[in-house]
Amino acid sequence: DGGITQSPKYLFRKEGQNVTLSCEQNLNHDAMYWYRQDPGQGLRLIYYSQIVNDFQKGDIAEGYSVSREKKESFPLTVTSAQKNPTAFYLCASSTASGRADTQYFGPGTRLTVL
């Protein structure tokens, strides 16, 4: 089955801890994205990567970091510098850059900071 997997589905973390959210895709997509969604709001872009070993900041990158060592994987680390990390995190991937209609979303990780 082709698709995007995100793990874990739910994540709880204590204030001051770093946490890494996993995103894996077997669609052979070049581009991958991380979004954050807060209640009553749309998605906001955190980071995106168009090719392995390269990534760019989105609109709300502060307090987050990413890596893209493999085409299939784009993990997101939420650091202690992120002031309000409780949110729903969505990972997406797409085929060649510039094809927004091919952007396919994973099931999401809900992060709660206690």
Does position 40 interact with other proteins (CB under 8 A)? The reply is yes
Subset of residues 76 to 95 that bind other proteins, contact rule: CB under 8 A: 90, 94
For residue 33, give the nearest of 51, 46, 52, 19 by alpha carbon. 46
Calculate the CA 28 to chain-centre distance: 17
Residue 103 in contact with other proteins, rule: CB under 8 A: yes
Contact 104, 27 (CB under 8 A): yes
Instruction: Using CB under 8 A, pick the residue from 17, 26, 28, 41 that binds other proteins.
Output: 41
Q: Does 64 bind other proteins (CB under 8 A)?
A: no
Per the CB < 8 A criterion, the answer to whether 35 and 43 are in contact is yes
Binding site for other proteins (CB under 8 A): 31, 33, 35, 40-45, 48, 50, 56, 58, 90, 94, 97-101, 103-108
